[in-house]
Amino acid sequence: MNRNSYSNFQDQELLILFQEGSEEAFNEIYRRYQASLYLHALKMLKDRDEAQDVIQEVFTKLWHKGDTLVVSSSLSSYLYTAVRNRILDIFSHEKLVVKHQQSLQDFIHKGEFITDHRLREKELASVIEREIADLPPKMREVFELSRKGHLSYAEIAEDLNIAENTVRKQISKALKRLKPRLADFLLAAFIPLAALLGAVIK
């Protein structure tokens, strides 16, 4: 069956074919909804990369569910709800981080402080180094030139012979990968997220 024939199917027919193991049915679902779901996510997140990440995550989960997928509503409602719920999870996590940062500020303003903060800073630095080492090679190289080499985007672009916009995107993606991985440690240690991007990492 060719691609055009799948494009003529109704959503429910595609869903059944996908649940039966049809990769082309899944591909048609992706082609049919990817763009509109992306715009929906972008409207909520106001960030192109984050919106794209959410869409890829939703479709990846859809693919892995396969024949175990249960859709009680329409396929479109299911997909839009999945995107919205993932974004709400992101918002909830960000609010939790902000809440703990504020708790730390209140703690400091009362004249109290964690006595072993120096040790925690060392632990944080060690965790950061491990996470940076796990970044993809090119992303890690760009990130280290910026944060450790203190080079500007333009200098990194010239040094690596790549576009300055590519440098900016690589650093942005690196920070987005590092933040959630370090969030649990930061909250447990009562170290503000600014420490990740400021003195400790430099």
At 70, the pLDDT band (50, 70, 90 cuts) reads confident
SS3 content of the chain, % helix, strand, coil (to 5): 80, 0, 20
Q: Is the pLDDT of residue 109 over 70?
A: no
Q: What predicted TM-score, i.e. pTM, was given to this entire model? A: 0.48
Asked if residue 97 is part of any domain, the answer here is: no
pLDDT in tens, 21-33: 999 999 999 999 9
Of 54, 37, 126, nearest to 93 by C-alpha is: 54
Asked if residue 137 is part of any domain, the answer here is: yes
Residues 81, 120: one domain?
no
What pLDDT, on the 0 to 100 scale, is given for residue 18?
Answer: 92
The domain that holds 181 is classified in CATH as 1.10.10.10
Triad 168, 134, 83: Cα angle to 5°:
65
Asked if residue 99 is part of any domain, the answer here is: no
SS3 48: helix
- Measured distance CA(60)–CA(138) in Å, rounded: 25
What pLDDT, on the 0 to 100 scale, is given for residue 121?
Answer: 63
Asked if residue 152 is part of any domain, the answer here is: yes
What pLDDT, on the 0 to 100 scale, is given for residue 100?
Answer: 54
Residue 81: in which H helix or E strand, if any? helix 75-109
Asked if residue 102 is part of any domain, the answer here is: no
Number of domains in the chain: 2
What pLDDT, on the 0 to 100 scale, is given for residue 105?
Answer: 58
What is the domain range of residue 157?
114-197
